[in-house]
Amino acid sequence: MKSRPTDPTRLDVVAFARRGGRLDGELPPGSLARLEACLSAPADAAMAPVRWHAAGEVRAGVGGEAEVWLRLRADGVVPLQCQRCLQPLAQPLAVDRWFRFVATEDEAARLDEELDDDVLVWSRAFDLVALVEDELLLALPIVPRHEACPEPLPLPVADADDPAPAHPFAELAALRRAGPAGRDD
How is the chain split into domains, by residue range?
Answer: 13-139
Distance CA 8, CA 155 (A): 50
What residues are paired with 80 via a beta bridge? 89
- Give the count of beta carbons closer than 10 Å to the beta carbon of residue 109: 13
- Residue 168: the pLDDT is 75
Q: What does 12-27 look like in DSSP terms, one character per residue? A: -HHHHHHTT-EEEEEE
Task: In whole angstroms, give the CA distance from residue 132 to residue 137.
Answer: 9
- Cα(111)–Cα(103) distance, rounded to whole angstroms? 12
Q: What is the pLDDT along the chain (185 residues), one digit of tens a residue?
A: 445 567 999 999 999 999 999 999 999 988 999 998 888 765 556 788 999 999 999 998 877 789 999 999 999 999 999 999 888 999 999 999 999 999 999 988 998 888 888 999 988 899 999 999 999 999 999 999 999 998 877 676 666 566 666 777 877 787 888 877 655 55
Determine the pLDDT at residue 152: 77
Q: pLDDT value at position 42? A: 58
Residue 86: half-sphere exposure toward Cβ, Cα within 13 Å: 2
Phi then psi dihedrals of residue 86, to 5 deg: 65, 20
pLDDT of residue 1: 47
State the DSSP H helix or E strand holding residue 34, giving kind and residue range, or none if neither: helix 33-38
* C-alpha span between 152 and 75 (Å, rounded): 30
